[in-house]
């Protein structure tokens, strides 16, 4: 669905890659005609419910949460929605990353485009205009328990629509009314149920899932590339990666990872030079890499399934069921599926760094590296070489171990016991986001160390894929001769993992990796 022109939202077929294209690539977004038709039909049903028969309908003519039994007079239904946004906008802490906010915007619009929430087309188009005109709501990142959806964050996301809250425009933080004026928009007036339609959903959790999964897939490929580079530098064996082994334990991720490493090693003069050496087995961090990397890949497949469903799901309450002509209370807003998936994502990528750090240790430790100079420097003592980058990798891996404790196993009842089980999925997302960054940096350190190490084996050259990876790294970070600060080098290589340019550079040489 991703395309050079605007991405058209239907509520049914938004892909994870599309979310990345909008949130990171800043692609424009538009509504489909079919989604407008469904929204108008759903809105008509809401209007009949709000202004017709006065039976209790949650969020239309009742209070919220524990106040569900409190009837709201018809003339106050709009005021009810306004106060809902104000009361729920009480998030605290640092704001979400910009790309998470943009992802949440497009996901919220896509959910409303399904025509199961009952918001007016005009309100949804106004929300879309915030995205297309570069208005970025200021949304504190703490305050969601992940049931009834991401209530506090989504309330902050919606406030600029009514001229309240605050938002970034062209790098300047403005109050909501000024932000709208800066891009030629007017504040919206909310009708029955519209405030609830804006805040009842899982879009911040889903944003972490969608964008995090793109980063995680790139990390899985980068881990195979880093492993192949280290295998060359440590003069390991390719035998552990041959397909005959992996067909005997036919796990897809394991087979894909092994196949990647074999392709990366093709044409290696280094591997060929020690084909008949007396080393019988490599260490587990090399020999078992397909089994470890592959297990992470398989876990990411589960995350992919869950998030792919969620980005096109109806997670409002109540839902407008047009075929049945009824508004029905439900629990689709509960974030437990995403909470589990986000915790799994963190664990999956964390293990890629865990095994990577062990390979870094082998590269820098002269007792383990089979002839490489200590800490990959030729003037050890005066220079420390890659001694401290291994410390950094160890610190990142250790931090991940704490961050991977699952938030999804916790629940604290809210709303005086009305909402007596919650998912804590927002915490899962925040932790996963930090784990992703830590793993990108840990793998960057292995790539830097591997590029340095393999050069000590010259004139023997590595395989074509490994050579392409080394060249990419060298385009960011020159060879380390005399010591210099490596922070910028690590961040630069980590950024190339995150934006996909590392994998793209390798694939340009050897074809697409699994």
Known catalytic residues are 58
Angle, helix 252-265 to helix 464-476, in steps of 10 degrees: 80
Measuring CA to CA, which residue among 107, 179, 97, 108 is closest to residue 139?
Answer: 97
Measuring CA to CA, which residue among 177, 154, 180 is closest to residue 90?
Answer: 154
Rounded Cα distance, 245 and 261, in Å? 14
The token pair that represents 320 in the structure block: 């407008």
**Helix, strand, coil content of the chain in percent (nearest 5):** 60, 5, 35
Rounded Cα distance, 49 and 61, in Å? 9
Rounded Cα distance, 298 and 314, in Å? 27
Rounded Cα distance, 416 and 423, in Å? 17
Rounded Cα distance, 459 and 444, in Å? 25
Rounded Cα distance, 185 and 189, in Å? 13
Cα distances (angstroms) measured from residue 320 to each of 49, 69, 116, 445:
11, 20, 5, 51
Question: How many C-beta atoms lie closer than 10 Å to residue 434's C-beta?
Answer: 14
- Which residue has 């995205």 as its token pair? 131
Cα distances (angstroms) measured from residue 224 to each of 126, 208, 241, 256, 285:
44, 24, 11, 10, 12
Q: How, if at all, do strands 136-137 and 29-31 pair?
A: unpaired
């Amino acid at each position: 669905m991703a395309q050079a022109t605007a991405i058209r939202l239907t509520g049914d077929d938004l892909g994870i890659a599309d979310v990345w294209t909008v949130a990171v690539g800043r692609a424009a977004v538009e509504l489909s005609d079919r989604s407008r038709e469904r929204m108008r039909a759903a809105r008509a049903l809401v209007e009949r419910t709000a202004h017709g028969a006065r039976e209790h309908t949650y969020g239309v003519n009742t209070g919220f949460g524990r106040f569900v039994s409190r009837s709201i007079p018809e003339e106050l239904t709009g005021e009810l929605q306004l106060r809902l946004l104000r009361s729920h906008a009480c998030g605290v802490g640092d704001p979400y990353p910009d790309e998470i906010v943009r992802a949440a915007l497009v996901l919220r619009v896509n959910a409303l485009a399904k025509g199961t929430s009952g918001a007016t087309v005009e309100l949804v188009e106004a929300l879309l205009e915030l995205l297309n005109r570069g208005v970025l709501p200021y949304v504190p990142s703490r305050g969601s328990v992940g049931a009834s959806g991401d209530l506090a964050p989504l309330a902050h996301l919606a406030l600029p629509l009514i001229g309240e809250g605050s938002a970034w425009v062209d790098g300047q933080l403005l109050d909501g009314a000024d932000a709208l004026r800066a891009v030629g928009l007017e504040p919206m007036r909310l009708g029955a149920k519209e405030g609830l339609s804006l805040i009842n959903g899982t879009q911040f959790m889903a944003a972490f899932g969608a964008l995090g999964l793109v980063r995680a897939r790139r990390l899985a490929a980068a881990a195979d590339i880093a492993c192949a580079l280290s295998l060359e530098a440590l003069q390991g064996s390719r035998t552990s990666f041959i397909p005959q082994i992996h067909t005997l334990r036919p796990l897809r991720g394991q087979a894909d990872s092994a196949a990647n490493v074999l392709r990366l090693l093709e044409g290696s003069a280094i591997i060929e030079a020690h084909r008949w050496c007396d080393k019988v087995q490599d260490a587990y961090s090399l020999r078992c890499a397909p089994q470890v990397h592959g297990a992470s890949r398989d876990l990411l497949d589960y995350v992919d399934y869950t998030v792919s469903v969620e980005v096109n799901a109806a997670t409002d309450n109540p839902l407008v069921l047009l075929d049945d002509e009824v508004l029905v209370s439900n629990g689709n807003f509960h974030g437990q599926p995403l909470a589990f998936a986000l915790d799994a994502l963190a664990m999956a990528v964390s293990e890629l760094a865990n095994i990577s750090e062990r390979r870094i240790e082998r590269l820098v430790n002269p007792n383990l590296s089979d002839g490489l100079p200590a800490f990959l420097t030729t003037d050890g003592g005066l220079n420390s070489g890659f001694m401290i980058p291994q410390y950094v990798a160890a610190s990142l891996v250790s931090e991940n171990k704490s961050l991977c404790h699952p938030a999804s196993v916790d629940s604290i009842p809210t709303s005086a016991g009305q909402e007596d089980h919650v998912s804590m999925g927002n915490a899962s997302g925040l932790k996963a986001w930090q784990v992703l960054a830590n793993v990108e940096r840990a793998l960057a350190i292995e790539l830097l160390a591997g590029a340095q190490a393999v050069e000590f084996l010259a004139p023997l050259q590595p395989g074509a894929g490994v050579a392409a990876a080394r060249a990419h790294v060298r385009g960011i970070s020159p060879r380390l001769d005399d010591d210099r600060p490596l922070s910028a080098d690590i961040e630069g290589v980590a950024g190339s993992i995150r934006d996909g340019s590392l994998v793209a550079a390798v694939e340009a040489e050897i074809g697409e990796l699994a």
